[in-house]
Chain A
Amino acid sequence: MAGKVKWVTDIEKSVLINNFEKRGWVQVTENEDWNFYWMSVQTIRNVFSVETGYRLSDDQIVNHFPNHYELTRKDLMVKNIKRYRKELEKEGSPLAGKDESGKYLYLDFVPVTYMLPADYNLFVEEFRKSPSSTWIMKPCGKAQGKGIFLINKLSQIKKWSRDSKTSSFVSQSNKEAYVISLYINNPLLIGGRKFDLRLYVLVSTYRPLRCYMYKLGFCRFCTVKYTPSTSELDNMFVHLTNVAIQKHGEDYNHIHGGKWTVSNLRLYLESTRGKEVTSKLFDEIHWIIVQSLKAVAPVMNNDKHCFECYGYDIIIDDKLKPWLIEVNASPSLTSSTANDRILKYNLINDTLNIAVPNGEIPDCKWNKSPPKEVLGNYEILYDEELAQGDGADRELRSRQGQSLGPRAGRSRDSGRAVLTTWK
């Protein structure tokens, strides 16, 4: 296996390029023979599209799954999770258990969401049930907080209602698809400010599911104090935590960038709320990430040339319940502060160590099971193969599930037994 790895990228970011160069890899163009291509999401669409796509050879690896949008588009993610829940319910799985009010006990981690304009009527029904609620409108295909706004009156989204009432032959594509979700107006506040969590999750294969969580996630704080008051619904500095938005605020600070490490958050929560509830919170966060991956696993094209590093956005409410807001296929590699740069550099470094073992020319037929030493700052989040391993080897399984996986104390014990035999 001699020869240096040839790489291409269409994302010109130093954290990437430095990592390639430090491994002694050789840069080539996409028309030449390449081994490793860090693509943007547009490119991946072309590579795998029916018309223009081409076959990848065994020594070529790319950083996206062909239909990643099943997880990373807001509307499809919700659709897949809803479908997954229904399937579990049909099978009578205890994971799909509900409480008295009909809410899922373990799988209620996405705020109530509808597609517009398709589900407009369903949405109106729900809206009327709690007319004082606030909802958040997000365009399906955009990122960085673009095009998002909050509403608390039906009149504010009149134009989607007009479309749905017109003939169903009106093409949906000229009106951009939106999702509308119940806005979490009781987020956990620290120092009076709203924040969200950005966690990095690496998936090397979907079937069997093998995913890793990066230990060094961070919290993004708003620069302005949070207020649920309706007069401030238009003030995106209060509500949206995306750095792309916050950095235009008056108070944005370039030294810390309004970010905290997850370990800081943990310290704060343990000190002020206690260890049990903090551990429970983090266990739940791991749980919802794994469940979201399991939800899309059946529909995901598990191409062996692919791996993917997702950016998970999670919000914690004031009852310490985590909510999955969205998953990003192309988490930002721009660094807003010095610490940021170091973090993202290390993230890519560890990702490459896992995806391209030993930094040598890859063979996509390998078993995708890296040795523990190369994980770096990643921890195994869930490994389906190990979890399904020898029934006799419960020890291994429980330790596997224990390292970061969902801790199934309480009444979920039966749930975990099911989990480990889940295919």
Chain B
Amino acid sequence: MLQEESDLSLIIAQIVQKLKGSNLYSQLERQAWASLQRPEIKLESLKEDIKEFFKISGWEKKLQNAVYSELSVFPLPSHPAAPPEHLKEPLVYMRKAQGSWEKRILKSLNSMCTELSIPLARKRPVGEQKELLNKWNEMGTDEPDLSLFRPVYAPKDFLEVLINLRNPNYENGDSLSFRTHLGLIQVPLKVKDIPELKECFVELGLNIGQLGIDDSTQVPPELFENEHVRIGQKVLAEQDSAAAQQYIRQGSPTALRAELWALILNISSQPEDVLYYEQLKTNVIQHDLLVDSLIYKDVKLTASNDDYYFVFEDYLYQVLLCFSRDTSVLSHFAYNSASPPKSYIRGKLGLEEYAVFYPPNVAPLCFLYHEPSKLYQIFREMYVRFFFRLHSISSHPSGIVSLCLLFETLLQTYLPQLFYHLREIGAQPLRISFKWMVRAFSGYLATDQLLLLWDRILGYNSLEILAVLAAAVFAFRAVNLMEVTSLAAAEAVLADLSTLKKT
């Protein structure tokens, strides 16, 4: 009991500390001062009156949302004597693995630099700056020679690293029992099994209405859709983050989605935010980073060729280039097992940059937000809350390692025949589903289905649903898969997910 209380006060203290430095705090202060002018505030009951005022004017709600948002993101407090690395990642062997992965990437980057004799970072000459500024909105039309740039790593490289993870303290024993894990991931992490998943994802049960299924034309809208939309509008009117998160577990109506996501991620477009974005843009213009070319090349290869996202090519460049210079993202490294490498621009002060960068999933967001600075904010928030876990080695239940393990366990437990068959023909299921999960299915599902999937990620504050979906896909195509005899054929059967309606 005492332990819980002190934990709680620790959390509260940390949150208060965090919020004190934030924008919201100064706004609240300003509001409090301004409210002194109001007639209903009396000197005798100053404290209560101001509190009352906050409640009515909606500021209390904003504060609630901010606290809720901190709570969602905040890692659990650990033993007070634990070193900071422990907060990032409690398991030593994971940390080590992440460290050596990073070293490998850095080495690769550095060698690319020396090969092509391009510095990791350099300041742009003024002429070039001007040119870039003019072209800011149409970087897609640029065709610099990128043939010499290789992508730093591909998903399968990352998968190889994960496969080779071993816990040195865990002795598996040589005898094969029916409980031996037959999949690729050989790390003993705790993952949920179906009963636990059922409990966790209770709102996705068959007896509860879902958007994406129950709003299709065969079902009369009165049954579910209209009511759902009405509730959604109410939630938005109340501006309640927690309620929004609960609501979105059943999917978000298209028209309300942009606002709901902003509410859950606790993002409001303040002038300071727009200014921040402009500042980042200036950074991009003034300095050229090696990763920029890598980003450019990757976008050109993927989004530009995609049926849905090619329209937004230029937005992608803008957002990703700014992102790679955003130092506020550094704060998330406190709970990310990765660490940013430092680099120094010749002669200038140090600029942190991200070498461990696998272009995350901006493109689908372009369907919701068409204003660059808002798009940027949402993207950044989604990255630091969720997507970074797909690119770093950690023991977190939403981390990619756990997702892989969850996927394999689900498949092995509930579709053992399929699992075994695929393994026999050299098509370990994880090899196919890894690329889906590491990109959160972006580029593999039709956009409206993808957005419904991401609704659930936000609603449940976890990425586990990705593993569940991956397993479900295999289950769905099980009949066809049982007949294939090679990895390539298996890939082909699963290649086109775009017609799958996520259920």
Contacts and interface: CB of A to CB of B under 8 A. Distances in A.
Nearest to B254: A270
A221 interface: yes
Nearest to A268: B367
A264 B311 CA distance: 11
Interface string B276-301: 00000000000000000000000000
B370 interface: yes
Interface stretch (A77-85, A271-279, A326-334): A271-279
A87 B401 CA distance: 72
Contacts of B138: 192, 224-225
B387 to A, nearest CB: 20
A255 B308 CA distance: 11
A270 B255 contact: yes
A190 B306 CA distance: 16
B140 interface: yes
A271 B257 CA distance: 7
Given A225-B137, A253-B305, A271-B257, A260 B367 contact: no
A258 B310 contact: yes
B112 interface: no
Contacts of B366: 191
A57 interface: no
Contacts of A267: 254, 367, 447-448
B437 to A, nearest CB: 24
A263 B304 CA distance: 19
A250 B338 CA distance: 41
A344 interface: no
A70 B451 CA distance: 45
Q: Which bracket fits the contact residues of A? A: 20 to 34
Given A191-B314, A267-B448, A272 B305 contact: no
Nearest to A256: B307
B141 interface: yes
A172 B448 CA distance: 53
A250 to B, nearest CB: 8
Contact of A264 (B141, B308, B370): B308
B311 A260 contact: yes
B253 interface: yes
A274 B308 CA distance: 20
Contacts of A224: 138, 141
Interface string B312-338: 111100000000000000000000000
Given A267-B447, A272-B370, A253 B304 contact: yes
B277 to A, nearest CB: 17
A378 to B, nearest CB: 15
B310 A272 contact: no
A339 B499 CA distance: 13
A191 B311 contact: yes
B473 interface: no
A416 interface: no
Contacts of A193: 311
A251 interface: yes
Residue with the greatest number of chain B CB neighbours at <10 A, chosen from A191, A263, A275, A278? A191
Interface in B182-217: none
B179 to A, nearest CB: 45
B309 to A, nearest CB: 9
A251 B315 CA distance: 16
B267 interface: no
Contacts of A253: 304-305, 310
B311 A255 contact: no
A275 B368 contact: no
A268 B314 CA distance: 17
Contacts of A255: 305, 307
Contact of B253 (A191, A192, A256, A275): A275
A76 B173 CA distance: 85
B315 A191 contact: yes
Q: Which bracket fits the contact residues of B? A: 20 to 34
B258 interface: yes
A101 B361 CA distance: 48
B499 to A, nearest CB: 12
A274 B259 CA distance: 11
B369 interface: yes
A192 B137 contact: yes
B310 A271 contact: no
Residue with the greatest number of chain B CB neighbours at <10 A, chosen from A224, A255, A270? A270
A66 B138 CA distance: 47
Contacts of B447: 264, 267
Interface in B212-269: 253-255, 257-258
Interface string A224-261: 11000000000000000000000000110101101010
Given A224-B141, A225-B137, A272-B368, A191 B307 contact: no
A256 B310 contact: yes
Given A192-B137, A192-B314, A225-B138, A271 B307 contact: no
B311 A271 contact: no
Contacts of B137: 192, 225
A339 B140 CA distance: 23
Given A221-B311, A253-B305, A271 B141 contact: no
A270 B370 CA distance: 12
Nearest to A339: B307
A84 B137 CA distance: 44
A263 B255 CA distance: 14
A221 B257 CA distance: 25
A399 to B, nearest CB: 14
Contacts of A260: 307-308, 311
Given A221-B311, A260-B311, A339-B307, A275 B255 contact: yes
Given A191-B314, A267-B448, A256 B141 contact: no
Interface string A152-193: 000000000000000000000000000000000000001111
Contacts of A274: 255
Contacts of B370: 190, 272
Interface string B353-377: 0000000000000111110000000
Contacts of A275: 253-255
Nearest to A261: B307
A144 B312 CA distance: 26
Contact of A251 (B141, B308, B448, B451): B141
B313 A191 contact: yes
Nearest to B311: A191
Nearest to B371: A272
21 contacts: A190-B311, A191-B314, A192-B137, A192-B138, A225-B137, A225-B138, A225-B141, A250-B141, A255-B307, A260-B308, A264-B308, A267-B254, A267-B367, A267-B447, A267-B448, A270-B254, A271-B257, A272-B367, A272-B368, A275-B255, A278-B255
Top 9 closest pairs, chain A to chain B, by CB: A191-B311, A275-B255, A270-B254, A225-B138, A255-B305, A256-B307, A191-B312, A271-B368, A274-B255
Interface of A: 190-193, 221, 224-225, 250-251, 253, 255-256, 258, 260, 263-264, 267-268, 270-272, 274-275, 278, 339
Given A225-B314, A271-B451, 12 more contacts: A191-B311, A191-B312, A191-B366, A192-B138, A221-B311, A224-B138, A267-B448, A268-B367, A272-B370, A274-B255, A275-B254, A339-B307
